[in-house]
Homo-oligomer: A and B are copies of this chain.
Amino acid sequence: MGHTYEFARPALAVDVVVFGLDEEDLQVMLIQRDLPPFDGQWALPGGFVRVEETLDDAARRELVEETGLRDIYLEQLYTFGAVERDPRERVVTVAYYALVNLEGHDVRASTDARNAAWFPLSDLPELAFDHQEILEVAYERLRGKVRYQPIGFELLPDRFTLRQLQHLYEVILDRELDKRNFRKKVLAMEIVRETKDIEKDVAHRAARLYRFDKRTYDRLTRQGFNFEI
């Protein structure tokens, strides 16, 4: 970087893969485009980075503007720079992924989210640009990271049952886990704390609710503990 810019500049954008979880599936939030290129097709929420905002700020701003989602877990994923990825001109995009608890956030509460909708990961429409590839990289990252960082809790409500937690891992890792072994492991780590409450309105015995104990997690981590499912 020994000299100033003497060439044409690529444009710089951000795109966000928002994952949500319901009782069935991992879901992804998509936006239906209403302008060319790819008019009418579904795409990841995103937009251009302004010169006076950080990349994280740009991603959060676009999320609010396009989906109404705010204050959610957001992490940078990868930067995609294929020369022809946007047919209009050279656009490099910094991709993020976000995790959101589907029960706690209502997309439709947003003003400008007429074209936003959740799709199950297993049944996505055709996506604009290289967004299919971005989404695959995001899912790959989520699957890898969820095993050794306690990010999965971001997909659950504040208080959750161990069944919900196990279901989360089963959906993301795409394999079944043994109930007894899973509970033993999670409880042995001491990073989920039992609350005094139980589920409501279920047609069977109600399960105990637990809470992720971030303080204990941070303390244990400083002592060399490694989270792993």
Contacts and interface: CB of A to CB of B under 8 A. Distances in A.
Interface in A1-29: 1-5, 7-13, 15
A92 B55 contact: yes
B2 A33 contact: yes
Q: Which of A1, A13, A47, A129 has the most CB of B within 10 A?
A: A1
Given A12-B9, A12-B10, A2 B47 contact: yes
B81 A49 contact: yes
Nearest to A58: B81
Nearest to A33: B2
A49 B94 contact: no
Contact of A3 (B35, B79, B92, B129): B35
Given A11-B9, A48-B7, A35 B92 contact: no
Contact of A53 (B2, B5, B78, B83): B83
A14 to B, nearest CB: 9
A190 interface: no
Interface string A22-49: 0000000000011100000001001111
Given A7-B51, A8-B51, A35-B2, A79 B79 contact: yes
A10 B49 contact: yes
A54 interface: yes
A33 B8 CA distance: 23
19 contacts: A1-B13, A1-B46, A1-B86, A1-B129, A2-B33, A3-B35, A3-B47, A5-B11, A9-B11, A9-B12, A10-B51, A12-B12, A51-B90, A52-B83, A54-B82, A54-B83, A55-B79, A76-B79, A81-B94
